[in-house]
Amino acid sequence: MAHSAQRDADRDRYANLLGQLDGRDAPKAMERLLVDAQSLAYRFSLMVCGHTEDAEDAMQDALMQTYKHARRIRQPKGFRTWLYRTVKNACLMSRRTRVDQPARLESLDGDDAPDVAGEEPDPEKQTVAAEERRRFQAAFRKLPKPYRLVAFLRDVEGLSTREVAEVVGITEANVKQRLHRARVMLKDALAS
């Protein structure tokens, strides 16, 4: 699905879920919103912050913030940017030094089975895909943070340029500039 179509689908989905928060299906709708918020915090922590040990803190924060505020946000368009802003703040503010504690979450490079529905996987193809993914993630995490943040929101998550500008707090022109430079850095890193 193209990113713009995905954005529209997300907005419809959020509109639907937010609309259900006062009805009979409220618990299910809230559960989906909470899982979405945590999933986003997880991806953000690993791709932007690059620290698995911080992911749990960020996910917990995203969970609580979403639970607390979701009922008050009735505009689906606003909810989407609110969620990303909340997760961004949770991830960037929750940096803690946990030198003595092992990370409890699996990293994206872990051996745990990915949650992907579909046909029977081909082990050889899976190995190649996993290797490519590892290389890409390693290159992505080496991007300077301002570029990494914009590339994550725009290319990984599919936010529009305007939404990224709102979430990050920079101009649309600046978003574009950082995005293009990030892509070039990634391309160069993957070619080397």
Contact residues for other proteins, defined by CB under 8 A: 3, 27, 30-31, 34-35, 38-39, 42-43, 46-47, 59-60, 63-64, 67, 105-106, 108, 110, 112-116, 132-133, 136-137, 140, 151, 155-158, 161, 176, 179-181, 183-184, 186-187, 190-191
Minimum CB separation of residue 155 from other proteins in Å reads: 4
CB of 97 to other proteins, least distance (A): 23
Cβ atoms 116, 12 nearer than 8 A:
no
Cα–Cα dist 84/166, whole Å: 10
Closest approach, Cβ 22 to other proteins, in A, equals 14
Q: How far is the CB of 16 from other proteins (least distance, A)?
A: 17
Q: Which is nearer to other proteins, 36 or 166 (by Cβ)?
A: 36
Shortest Cβ 10–other proteins spacing (Å)? 12
Other CB atoms within 10 Å distance of the CB of residue 23:
9
Q: Which is nearer to other proteins, 100 or 104 (CB)?
A: 104
Cβ distance to other proteins smaller for residue 97 or 133: 133
- Nearer to other proteins by Cβ, of 23 and 97: the residue is 23
Cα–Cα distance list, 49 to 36, 54, 114, 118, 187 (Å): 18, 8, 21, 30, 21
Give buried/exposed letters for 58-96 (b at 16+ CB in 10 A, else e): bbebbbebbeeebeebeebeebbbbbbebbbebbbebee
CA 140 to CA 149: how far, in whole Å?
Answer: 10
Q: Tokens representing 92?
A: 């960037």
Cβ nearer to other proteins, comparing 118 with 169: 118
Separation CA 91–CA 56 (nearest Å): 10
